[in-house]
Structure 1
């Protein structure tokens, strides 16, 4: 406490400058030390460091542009900790509450989905559990290819990020458990890339036995074909699964990357093109890009 007491004798603007070098969580905890710390921790000097430089422009073109003006930068920070829609409602922006890092989401309409304009292959519809106006549902196709593209300048610099495809499987879904999908994240000119494989669905052992009676080892041959494409390091036992979220959706980790100070191209991909089996029932909401911890 001797250190805190000695800092407490500093002018409030000096304390604000010190707190601005911490994190939003630290500033909140230190505001409990004394009334001087509380006043310093609520100042615009502190919270302007936690906000993106262009936060005002982002808010001005978002779905909250018509809301009442915010009284302080601290208030603006916590408003941005809840997602806001930008770019005509096709993207989402928010700040991570405890770090202030940017989270960025591309809706299905912002993704390049092969044959998504063909109503025989994909349908576009609303979903009450989606933050966006439309989601894309796979009707019938043997080829699923999804790409998302943006720039790292829209994210926080010097941060480890993960990219996640946000999906769910409809009750009538089928053909999604023959082959694992290939996923990839590429930064810049392929100087930094992350690759992997994921199951949309896992077959139960009883179903595997029944399938082998009708199709022989078709599934095993397809996985070996995928392994030959990915190289010797491919391990079918290390294929990831969908991970359930708290919002009624599931997510697939496409890969991770580290942002530097430069503004680079970012490409994120999901491919299931090797199984040659008709598939249906995959519902795509978005690709979310958020910090990893």
Structure 2
């Protein structure tokens, strides 16, 4: 028995077998194919720069690389108007652009931002990058507005504009914003509404509209009802709309108001901003001053300025 044991230890084949078991390297792990997560953030950011904001926000959900790249300043600076710093100073005041990254600046501008004592709202249209502006009836100069025999500011839920604008937090959403009141005309002989403001519009062509309704809308048992009792005088002579710019542009239009019970946008005219001036001064009016008859039953909500290509 001892001889058998010693012979087994002396057998060289035994040592070669043990050595081969100890020295044989473990097989390498299988190679995995590279994925989107392996792309450098700088390369991903160059791709995102070519996309629109909604696509950027969707792709930011893919992985860490895309999420990090979606915060690159140059990606969002390409989506901002050229004069976005002037816009921020006009709407928010000085210093805000230095505290926010470009994505946050874009987010802020896409919201309906109230300024000038709550009489104006401005926002960035996410589809076109154009600036839109809305001026409340309380921000307009209305002849006779202080005499309650003629005009009243009445509360309403229908003072609103609705746009597919963005709050950029990886998702877009719709919102409606409201001034909560409209100017209601009971009756008057001399109808005149004027407005004036200065704003750093980016280069482009813009349209100005008055948002009007014949009749006063209320709710009864949850249903909308429009009282047209005081609507009169608007079909006799047309209303004239006019606008002037600080660089000498002029536009005008006329129309007879009809279609009571519905909100309508009445087009006053268009103007062009060429970018040579830091801001554009705009003056506009709506008049029906033929004193041979009275006019009444009109709701004036706001004046809106849109880039001409925004529907």
TM-score interval w.r.t. the shorter chain?
A: 0.5 to 0.7
Change over 3 Å in CA distance of 1:11–1:50 after alignment to 2: same
Counting matched residue pairs gives: 233
Is 1:122 the counterpart of 2:180? The answer is: no
CA distance in 2, matches of 1:278, 1:22: 55
Ranges in structure 1 where 5+ consecutive residues have no aligned partner: 1-9, 203-241
Change over 3 Å in CA distance of 1:187–1:55 after alignment to 2: closer
CA distance in 2, matches of 1:149, 1:12: 47
CA RMSD of aligned residues (A): 3.5
Ranges in structure 2 where 5+ consecutive residues have no aligned partner: 1-38, 160-177, 216-227
Q: Over residues 174-233 of structure 1, what are the superposed CA-to-partner deviations in whole Å (9 max), with x where a residue is unaligned?
A: 22211111112211253x21211122116xxxxxxxxxxxxxxxxxxxxxxxxxxxxxxx
Change over 3 Å in CA distance of 1:79–1:152 after alignment to 2: closer
Contact 1:24 1:99 in 2 (8 A): no
Is 1:181 the counterpart of 2:239? The answer is: yes
Q: TM-score, normalised by structure 1?
A: 0.66
Q: Over residues 234-281 of structure 1, what are the superposed CA-to-partner deviations in whole Å (9 max), with x where a residue is unaligned?
A: xxxxxxxx996xxxx321111111112112321122111236311111
Is 1:143 the counterpart of 2:143? The answer is: no
Q: Which has the larger radius of gyration?
A: 2
Is 1:194 the counterpart of 2:251? The answer is: yes
Q: Pick from 76, 79, 85: which aligns with 1:53?
A: 85
Instruction: State the secondary structure of the residue aligned to 1:45.
Output: helix
Name the residue aligned to 2:274.
260
Is 1:160 the counterpart of 2:195? The answer is: no
Q: Over residues 73-110 of structure 1, what are the superposed CA-to-partner deviations in whole Å (9 max), with x where a residue is unaligned?
A: 43553454342322221111111011221111111111
Contact 1:78 1:97 in 2 (8 A): no
Higher relative CO (Cα under 8 Å, sequence separation at least 6) belongs to: 1
CA distance in 1, matches of 2:291, 2:65: 64
Name the residue aligned to 1:281.
297
CA distance in 2, matches of 1:281, 1:55: 37
Contact 1:143 1:276 in 2 (8 A): no
Q: How does 1:197-208 map to 2 (within 5 A)?
A: 197-201=254-258
CA distance in 1, matches of 2:205, 2:282: 13
Shift of 1:25: 5.8
Structure number with higher helix proportion: 1
Change over 3 Å in CA distance of 1:81–1:23 after alignment to 2: same
Contact 2:189 2:293 in 1 (8 A): yes
Name the residue aligned to 1:87.
116
Name the residue aligned to 1:43.
72
